[in-house]
Chain A
């Protein structure tokens, strides 16, 4: 269980959230919505222990996350940041294999378990054919799939993913969301920063809304997905449409 208690987060003098409380139970998928600059990434980095909380705490199974050894945490918590591939010179497979680093026992080499996790992650992101290509020769969307595969290979019980669908085409967006749903069914807890309301609606059972004024709301998606809330969240007018019996939100003109 990953929980936040009375969490206040700010960055560069801007408050992201004040005294926030919520908990991600195993098998739940949380979506984080908000405008550009609302602090979604900062909140995710705080949950990952990469950004200090101003007040309150992030708790992993009743222990403050800041007290846990990073290596131990890395076996439980997989984190996908926004600019992840950086200056990596090796192949796609080598990049994905980095996800096994927290599980590695010896100094060199990887076990059969490691290799099968890497193969499975490559297959899940449809990267098997690109596995031996240098990562920096790939397109932006392919690199994003490699970054997701790396996080999947980590086989953590909780996944924090910052805009996992960025740069992905429609088919791969659906494939990625399906992989996340599969993990969720296996009992993983997920938190996804998203910009696409459709995926937030379809893929997430809980939502966290970060309003421009520093207010935050957490709860079941069914309660929070209302036109009034989303209009206040994005500060723009929306229209509701019925598609296959479900509501969906479109930009209003």
Chain B
């Protein structure tokens, strides 16, 4: 598909998803009520629902999805592996160990968030320190996978040791949940900056995907690019984790979905994947909080339920 056309369609999809997310909820609101509520007019209760509940939630879902997809694009270019996703380098594993350990110790919500942030940052630094070599990507990838496996074992251990009453909360954390997003403003700025920088760097990303040696002989300072991509992707992942926990599928598959729709150059792939990731996670989250209303389900379930059939169809079609 033509790149500009696809990007326009994805922008339209994102706008529709934002609108749908604002309209849907336990209390049905008309488009007019939502629009007035956004500008602080009309019934005060409606204004409160729109401005304090739905808007932050909808924005959090969109920004989280955009960050995950952007991180996925960067990591797939850095690691030159189609299976690379934002969690492959152990960031979410470290965050999960931190958060669950804090929960087990009975820490409050703020301490849990802090512990997950610390866990994620420890993972970022440890994997980079142990696995980074200039001009090589497999060692970094394997180090991340091994680190993640270790975190997975620790998570299982923490779940086993925890009293039953806490286990459900822990499982919700692990499945990803946008009910309590942290740092939305910072994450939004980060996404905007990340999009601009990654689009400006799109030529270099294209060159990197032809191989590290090739990129070096085409004039790219490969070591610096590798380090910059790693830390940028890690930063986006950490911000996404703070918004919604570890939500699977978005970071891995949104870049591939855009590629399968025929757009492969990073100049278009970067904004395309971010738009699709944001719209997709927003749709999944809207379903997660309305399908069994008033019960709110973890969004991670819906990203896979929605995404798997679509991606399987796209993959089968491409043959």
Contact = CB atoms under 8 A, between A and B. Distances in A.
Interface stretch (A95-103, A174-182, A222-230, A237-245): A95-103
Contacts of A85: 210-211
A139 B213 CA distance: 22
7 contacts: A49-B216, A79-B214, A83-B211, A89-B259, A89-B264, A98-B207, A98-B218
Given A87-B209, A94-B265, A108-B203, A101 B218 contact: yes
Given A73-B219, A108-B267, A81 B207 contact: no
Chain B contact patch, size range = 20 to 34
A101 B216 contact: no
Nearest to B256: A89
A188 B266 CA distance: 33
Nearest to B82: A87
A45 B213 contact: yes
A95 B210 contact: yes
Contacts of A86: 80, 209-211, 214
B29 to A, nearest CB: 42
Given A87-B209, A89-B209, A89-B259, A79 B80 contact: no
Given A86-B209, A98-B210, A107-B200, A48 B217 contact: yes
A77 B216 CA distance: 11
A140 to B, nearest CB: 16
A162 to B, nearest CB: 10
Contacts of B259: 89
A50 B217 contact: yes
A72 B265 CA distance: 24
User: Chain A CB within 10 Å — which of B216, B218, B220, B265 has the most?
Assistant: B218
Interface of A: 45, 48-50, 70-75, 77-79, 81, 83-91, 94-95, 98-99, 101-102, 104, 107-108, 134, 150, 154
Contact of B81 (A50, A83, A87, A134): A87
A82 to B, nearest CB: 9
A98 B210 CA distance: 8
Contacts of B81: 87
A108 B3 CA distance: 14
A79 B207 contact: no
Contact of A81 (B213, B220, B265, B267): B213
B213 A101 contact: no
**Could you tell me the dominant secondary structure of chain A's interface residues?**
mixed
Nearest to B217: A79
Interface of B: 76, 80-82, 135, 200, 202-203, 206-207, 209-211, 213-214, 216-221, 259, 264-265, 267
Nearest to A83: B211
Contacts of B207: 98, 101
The 5 closest A-B pairs by CB, nearest first: A74-B219, A71-B219, A79-B217, A102-B219, A89-B264
Contacts of A94: 206, 264-265
A115 B253 CA distance: 33
Given A86-B210, A95-B210, A104 B217 contact: no
Given A98-B206, A101-B203, A81 B214 contact: yes
Contact of A104 (B76, B135, B200, B203): B203
B90 to A, nearest CB: 22
Contacts of B267: 108
A77 B217 contact: yes
B223 to A, nearest CB: 10
Nearest to B218: A101
Contacts of B203: 101, 104, 107-108
Contact of A87 (B80, B202, B221): B80
User: Chain B CB within 10 Å — which of A72, A81, A101 has the most?
Assistant: A101
A133 to B, nearest CB: 13
A84 B148 CA distance: 30
A99 B264 contact: no
Contact of B211 (A49, A78, A84): A84
Contacts of B217: 48, 50, 74, 77-79, 81
B226 to A, nearest CB: 14
B216 to A, nearest CB: 6
Given A70-B220, A107-B202, A154-B218, 15 more contacts: A50-B216, A71-B220, A73-B219, A74-B219, A86-B80, A87-B80, A88-B210, A89-B209, A94-B206, A95-B210, A98-B218, A101-B207, A102-B219, A107-B200, A150-B210
A166 B51 CA distance: 64
Contacts of B80: 86-87
A74 B218 contact: yes
User: Chain B CB within 10 Å — which of A45, A81, A85, A89 has the most?
Assistant: A89
A237 to B, nearest CB: 36
B217 to A, nearest CB: 4
